[in-house]
Amino acid sequence: MTDLQNNRLVSQVKHVWDNVPYYKNKMIDIGITPDDIKSINDLHKLPFVTKEDLRDTYPYGLLGVPLSETVRIQSTTGTTGKRIIAFYTKNDIDIWEDCCARAIVAAGGTKEDVVQVAYGFGLFTGGPGLNGGSHKVGSLTLPMSSGFTERQLQFMCDLKATILCCTPSYAEYLSESIEEAGLNDKIKLKAGIFGAEAWSNEMRERLEKKLGIKAYDIYGLTETSGPGVSFECVEQTGMHVNEDNFIPEIINPKTLEVLPYGEEGELVFTCITKKAFPLLRYRTRDICVLKRDDCSCGRTLIKMSRLMGRSDDMLIIRGVNVFPSQIETVLIEYGLSANYQLVIDRINHTDTLEVRVELSPEMFSDTVRGVEGREKEISENIKKILGISAKVSLVAPKSMVRSEGKAIRVIDNRKI
Ligand code: DLL
């Protein structure tokens, strides 16, 4: 693997030097040439690439091949307001689909399976990536896209889908709809491949129980091609990184120093195979831990932990750094649904935080006083953990909008 990474890194650096003036100039600025990069031990010499670089060079500035060699674009969902366009050659797509195929196989997929792809299709990478991966495995592929829940359930039952690919929040929605329609006995699912947004182990347990499946995490981002940068295996203790295509590093986002395995920090990827939109040391802003342990599945690929948050969508409320996942952990401790929203406002120059969360059906029958008591208790717990007070509003089960793609967890109404 190291030999392969060394060779691919050296040739990728030469590729960008020869074909992408933006990279060449960046390298010249810090006084390096491709001759300085002889192996992955020299990776740290290369400059970082950030989302700002991608925006500055929009749309063609990082293109590594003539436009006539490109065959597809995909684009970010723009939940953070910034659109990024990624370009692909035929071979880039082939490699990307291989990565997704590995994720399906790791979840137990074979050509005997029926894979229901309920990630969005179009510019979003989820649908096209898993669709291509499923073709490669030879599974019967249902390119459902997200939404149209009734149709999803019909196909899931009639065509006996065995593997479901979608966001974890949409999987929750589907599982509720299955229950409501009384279809549990008709569901033949055995595995779910869920990613594109943060989810917790508690949510995994709930989905596994409700759907009678094993639920696997999958990670990726548009900039590096899409889903399939890493994927979980049967051990479910982190995601194996497709290291033959993506070299991961963890850095301290403040000092930019490279951290040893086992330490928490920002994930950085160098893509050593894709040519149309080559990325060297791309700062993902995702926070996690890398660990190189033996895995019972036999794969030797390094593992990354679940994401612990992002170094940029960290909220600053009344001067306190808040990750939505910290609040989610408190809610889950109270047995509340993962369907929650944080509403932030600024009233009389002071930030306010409201945590809206759905009651479970059992709790809904509680008295008004019971609910109020619970709200107060949760609010006190949030204060204990975050150091700021929040208004907690427990709302009726299923009263909040369900997402078919990525859930919107934060509504920031502050005009700053
Ligand atoms: O979300 C690609 C994808 C599609 C991954 C389907 C998995 C499944 P973007 O829209 O560019 O691409 O968003 C990338 O989503 O930087 C993370 O912050 C977040 N993300 C992706 N996978 C996970 C995951 C796709 N498994 C951004 N857990 C990334 C938590 C995730 N967050």
Q: Residue 225: CB within 6 Å of ligand 1?
A: no
Residue 309 has pLDDT above 90, yes or no: no
pLDDT of residue 80: 44
Say if strands 265-271 and 282-288 run parallel, antiparallel, or are unpaired: antiparallel
Give the DSSP H/E element, type plus range, for residue 71.
Answer: strand 70-75
> pTM score, two decimals?
0.85
Closest C-alpha residue for ligand 1 atom 18: 286
Q: Residue 197: CB within 6 Å of ligand 1?
A: yes
Domains defined for the chain, CATH in brackets: 85-311 (3.40.50.12780), 320-412 (3.30.300.30)
Q: Residue 220: CB within 6 Å of ligand 1?
A: yes
User: 57-89 pLDDT, tens per residue?
Assistant: 999 999 999 999 999 999 985 444 457 899 999
Largest CA distance in the chain: 72
- Per-residue pLDDT band at 404 (split at 50, 70, 90): confident
End-to-end CA distance of the chain: 48
CA 381 to chain centroid, in Å, comes to: 28
Q: How far is the CA of 222 from the centre of ligand 1 (A)?
A: 8
**CA-angle at 77, arms to 71 and 81, nearest 5°:** 125
Picking from 197, 171, 172, the residue whose alpha carbon sits closest to that of residue 80 is: 197
| CB distance 265 to 252 below 8 Å | yes
pLDDT of residue 204: 94
CA 398 to chain centroid, in Å, comes to: 25
Q: How far is the CA of 307 from the centre of ligand 1 (A)?
A: 10
Q: How far is the CA of 350 from the centre of ligand 1 (A)?
A: 32
User: 193-206 pLDDT, tens per residue?
Assistant: 999 987 888 889 99
* Exposure class string for 138-173: b at 16+ Cβ within 10 A, else e: ebbbbbbbbeebeebbebbbeeebbbbbbbbbbbbb
